[in-house]
């Protein structure tokens, strides 16, 4: 039986450590404060009795739960990331524990009148009667992905305490900088030594995912010309007006707020500029590789068309691929998805097999030779003040990890 209070205490101890990653840094980890949790995790792994515990110069953590069977079993892994997104502050996280949730509104912050309501976030309704951990309305929570870390740690602790549960060698990996797309960049797949792994980085209970977006980032730069506005006729070129034309020329309904399931999008997430120069930062996402390539081509073609109309090359587009759809690498080894699905069904959890509208470390790891589907960690509303996680979902995730280990050992 998973100890509920131990799990809560562990989770709280992790989310109250600020580990926000920094996309403007070129170091790994991108923020020095990520070391605070990394070092804590390495020490906890050693203290609980895990072997081969290592933490390298980039804060990647690996450890082993040794096999306790006398036959050959594939080495499998479980992976989670300890950084939090720079999109919303993760500093001074003050979690609130709502026991026996009554199904109604949750007042996160009385002073600022911030309310987590099932009228808006209807997923809340399925957790009536459970224990929910929320923010205080001023920060994110960090369940993405400290819930995943908590679940892996609790699963390893449980199996160490219960040797009657038979399993092969289990590898554990914790990574920095996943939230800025670099979590797998310096992950040593050969050193990890697993035949396959699972990221514990999904959302609601039951999620099981083995396909995700193809992803790219795009920087659109528009050059203008600034002169005194009183003498600007025929001379000033206002880059912000050109930027507006560029923005409005992309398909307006192909944005995150208008798409779902496998539908791709263009997402303008940052604008910086003035008359003289404007920078637009986009992410491009699509599950279909052909559509993904077409989106990138559309952005470049649009710049060329506007430059032609302006009769000057004022717009440039730089696009960099970030990760690809893991389905291509997981499909040939679908038994690893089948094992996770069997584990959930054995535990009376309904598997929700669907595409990820995002990416995980597993996206890149799959292309690095480590097939890596994604399993629920339990959290909702990631990257913002309305983030929450039901404790019971985290406990079920721990059970899934243990059951996957058991099933893998039984398949000779």
What is the distance between the alpha carbons of residues 402 and 160, in angstroms, rounded to a whole number? 11
- CA dihedral sign of residues 370, 376, 382, 387: negative
- The closest of 409, 7, 375, 406 to 209, measured between CA atoms, is 375
- The closest of 14, 10, 44 to 146, measured between CA atoms, is 14
What Å distances lie between residue 292 and 102, 249, 267, 302, 362, CA to CA?
A: 44, 18, 13, 16, 19
Task: Point out the catalytic residue in the list 22, 83, 286, 387.
Answer: 83
Task: Point out the catalytic residue in the list 18, 178, 207, 387.
Answer: 178
Contact by Cβ (8 Å): 264, 287: yes
Dihedral (Cα; 57, 150, 341, 134), 10-degree rounding: -120
What is the distance between the alpha carbons of residues 67 and 168, in angstroms, rounded to a whole number? 4
Contact by Cβ (8 Å): 370, 189: yes
305 given a catalytic annotation: no
What is the distance between the alpha carbons of residues 362 and 184, in angstroms, rounded to a whole number? 8
The two structure tokens encoding residue 236: 């000033």
**Which residue carries 């912000």 as its tokens?**
240
Q: For residue 312, what are the contacts with CB-CB under 8 A and spacing of at least 6?
A: none
83 given a catalytic annotation: yes
65: β partners:
170
Active site amino acids? 83, 178
């Amino acid at each position: 039986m998973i100890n509920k209070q131990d799990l809560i205490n562990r989770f709280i101890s992790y989310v109250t450590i600020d580990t926000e990653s920094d996309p403007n840094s070129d170091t790994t980890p991108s923020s020095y404060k990520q070391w605070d949790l990394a070092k804590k995790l390495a020490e906890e792994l050693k203290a609980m009795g895990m072997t081969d515990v290592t933490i390298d110069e980039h804060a990647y953590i690996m450890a082993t739960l040794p096999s306790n069977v006398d036959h050959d079993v594939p080495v499998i892994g479980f992976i989670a990331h300890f950084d939090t997104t720079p999109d919303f502050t993760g500093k001074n996280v003050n979690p609130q524990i709502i026991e026996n949730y009554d199904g109604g509104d949750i007042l996160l912050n009385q002073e600022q009148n911030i309310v987590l309501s099932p009228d808006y976030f209807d997923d809340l309704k399925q957790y009536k009667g459970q224990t929910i951990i929320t923010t205080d309305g001023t920060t994110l929570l960090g369940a993405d992905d400290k819930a995943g870390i908590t679940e892996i740690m609790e699963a390893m602790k449980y199996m160490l305490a219960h040797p009657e549960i038979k399993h092969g060698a289990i590898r554990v990996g914790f990574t920095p900088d996943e939230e800025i797309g670099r979590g797998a960049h310096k992950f040593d797949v050969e050193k990890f030594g697993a035949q396959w792994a699972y990221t514990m980085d999904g959302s609601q209970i039951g999620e099981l995912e083995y396909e995700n977006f193809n992803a790219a980032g795009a920087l659109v730069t528009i050059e203008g010309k600034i002169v005194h506005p009183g003498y600007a006729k025929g001379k000033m070129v206002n880059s912000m007006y050109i930027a507006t034309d560029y923005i409005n020329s992309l398909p307006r309904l192909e944005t995150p707020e208008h798409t779902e399931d496998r539908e791709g999008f263009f997402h303008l997430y940052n604008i910086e500029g003035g008359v003289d120069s404007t920078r637009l930062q986009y992410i491009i996402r699509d599950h279909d590789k052909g559509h993904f390539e077409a989106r990138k081509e559309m952005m470049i073609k649009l710049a060329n068309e506007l430059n032609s109309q302006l009769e000057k090359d004022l717009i440039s587009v730089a696009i960099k691929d970030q990760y690809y759809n893991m389905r291509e690498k997981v499909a040939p080894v679908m038994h690893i998805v089948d094992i996770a699905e069997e584990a959930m069904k054995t535990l009376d959890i309904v598997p929700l097999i669907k595409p990820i509208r995002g990416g995980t470390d597993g996206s890149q790891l799959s292309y690095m030779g480590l097939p890596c589907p994604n399993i629920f960690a339990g959290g909702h509303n990631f990257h913002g003040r309305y983030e929450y996680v039901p404790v019971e979902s985290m406990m079920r995730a721990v059970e899934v990890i243990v059951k996957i280990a058991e099933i893998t050992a039984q398949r000779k």
